[in-house]
Amino acid sequence: MRLIPAALLPLLAAACGPLAELSLPAPLAAAADPVAGVRAATTGPNVRHTPRPITDPGDWRSLNDAQKEATK
């Protein structure tokens, strides 16, 4: 129970202190001007799409046999 007043004392002292004035930062004022930061958009990477047909699964036994032969 003695810990609670010790913890509340700094909070009470901070609450009674004067507040600092907030200033508007310069980057926010510059972002509000639509003409100031106009530049061309960059293009993304070139991506090629290769269409592939959907097929049924192949024979897994022949694939397993081929891997078994390769590991011997």
Q: Which residue has the higher pLDDT, 41 or 12?
A: 12
User: Predicted confidence band at 38 (pLDDT cuts at 50, 70, 90)?
Assistant: low
Q: Report d(CA 62, CA 64) in Å as an integer.
A: 5
Q: Average the pLDDT over 29-54 and give the result.
A: 74
Grade residue 48 by pLDDT with cuts at 50, 70 and 90.
confident
- Residue 72: pLDDT over 70: no
Please name the residue that has the structure tokens 């909070």: 11
How far apart, in whole angstroms, are the C-alpha atoms of residue 6 and residue 19?
23
Query: How far apart (Å, rounded) are the C-alpha atoms in residues 40 and 34?
Result: 14
